[in-house]
Amino acid sequence: MDVLLAALGTNSYTPTRYDGYEIESPYFTYALIRKHDPAKVILLLTQAAKKMHWDAERYDYKDKGDTKSHPTLRKVLEGSVYGQNRVNIPEGFPDGRDEGELWAAFNIIIEAVPENCTLILDVTNGFRTLPMLMLLAAIYLRQAKNVTLKGIYYGAFEAKSNDDQGRDVCPVFELTQFITLADWANAVRAFKLTGDTALLAESLSGLSETGSQERLKSASEHLKTFATYLDLGLSLEVQAASAQLREKLQAAEAALAERHAAFKTLLEQVRDELESFAQAAPRNLDQMKETLKRQLRLIHWLKKKRIATATLLTQEWIVSWEMVKQEKQKRIFEWAARKIKNPQIEALSKLRNQLAHGGWTADPLNVEEAVDTVERIIDALQEDTVIPETAPKPQPSASGEKPAPKRKPPKKKSQRGKKPKRG
């Protein structure tokens, strides 16, 4: 069910035309009713506004110095096919002169909007704080009452211009994507706190840009894939998905650059976070040292986001690094070859088993102690000390000649078996 939420103030509105709406009216709300034909209209009116624009038959306004009159919104609706019966005017709507009245207004709005409806907002008129309250109420209602926000419209009377016939025409601003931007900001915050990209995928799929839908859709799908791999704790797949996602986000940034610079900035932040552990071919045995270096960055990234996943990955990382140090990376994916033990692995293995059994063990897990243990182990795994860079190979001299090989010291001759000389 479509519901229109609108407000009127106490101004004497001048009849005008709105771009894309084929009528002349002082009430942009009426133009929206004609265009969207909502099943219900919630009209927010203070006592003074109700007296002027609803209870009365007509009201006076100034037009180029002349005093004219116009039917009130009630009379306009009575004379149309839409009628006034679909209009609901909440009682006791306050003027909003202090914070208490603002909260009272907010509560009246959220009480008036029905559950599971599709909401259209007209933020053109009303006291200056009222459009903001309506926007905030819409954000709240999406969660509290499962309301879908269909559109936010502002009839910009002060921005009017003349059409080709010399008539005043006011532009209409569609503001819904500013709410979408707020959703994006929340989604990026969720990503930074938890690593989850599902909300970002949902937000990105909500944008519709002509000529760039495929790039946005592709980025959205890759965000979902990344979220699934991360939920499952598949570290190598996360690294590969991050590399692919990095490219898809860059393409999406280009698609959004012209009209949505703010969206582009948020995507850049996500891409920058993925950069440190992204790797196109993490299973390549010849690149295993680089894989582990980047995976260690992933573990540090997850430490404050998903401690259970970090626990699992840290144990496997230590095993993998021990195999690389022992030059056994060719067997790094063989389960039998990965049976390596040390104090760190044993401590993490015990924790992992308790987590895997969901707490159904004889000894309840001491959560604070467990988290502290995992964090201390991870903190000790610093990239620059745990994974030293390979020693550089000798470089040719300036003349192009190869450096002379180091000479081995001569071996000492064994004295075994020799008879001592007689004196």
Domain ranges of the chain: 2-174, 193-275, 286-378
Q: Are the CB atoms for 168 and 162 separated by under 8 Å?
A: yes
Give residue-wise pLDDT tens across range 350-397: 899 888 888 888 888 899 999 999 999 999 998 877 776 654 444 454
Q: Whose CA is closest to 129, among 68, 47, 44, 63?
A: 44
| pLDDT-above-70 percentage for the chain | 89
* Encoded amino acid at 422, one letter: R
Residue 333 has pLDDT above 70, yes or no: yes
- Say if residue 209's pLDDT is above 80: no
In terms of phi and psi (left: phi > 0; alpha: psi -120 to 50; beta: otherwise), the region of 417 is left
pLDDT of 70 over the 90 cut: yes
287-332 pLDDT per residue, tens: 999 999 999 999 999 999 999 999 999 999 999 999 999 999 999 9
**According to the model, what pLDDT value does residue 313 have?**
96
**CATH code for the domain defined by 2-174:** 3.40.50.10640
418 vs 354, higher pLDDT = 354
Q: Please report, rounded to a whole number, the percentage of residues in the chain having pLDDT higher than 90.
A: 66
SS3 call for 268: helix
Q: What is the pTM of this model?
A: 0.79
More confident of the two residues 90 and 408: 90
Tell me the mean pLDDT in the region 338-347: 90
Q: Is the pLDDT of residue 422 over 50?
A: no
96: CB partners within 8 A, 6+ apart: 102, 105, 127, 129, 130, 133
Q: Are strands 40-44 and 87-88 parallel, antiparallel or unpaired?
A: parallel
pLDDT given for residue 392 in this prediction: 41
For residue range 96-147, list pLDDT tens digits in order.
999 999 999 999 999 999 999 999 999 999 888 999 999 999 999 999 999 9
Quote the tokens at residue 182: 């707020």
Residue 14 to residue 168: CA distance in whole angstroms: 11
Select from 230, 261, 257, 377 the least CA-distant residue to 318: 377
Q: How far apart are CA 376 and CA 366, in angstroms?
A: 15
DSSP 54: I
Mean pLDDT, the chain, rounded, equals: 88
Contacts 24+ apart (CB under 8 A), 105-112: 105/44, 105/130, 105/133, 106/133, 106/136, 106/137, 108/44, 109/5, 109/42, 109/44, 109/133, 109/134, 109/137, 110/137, 110/140, 110/141, 110/144, 110/145, 112/5, 112/42, 112/88
Region of poorest pLDDT, from 125-134, 204-213, 343-352: 204-213
Q: Which two tokens stand for residue 50?
A: 């109700």
pLDDT at 213: 77
pLDDT in tens, 44-63: 999 999 999 999 999 999 98
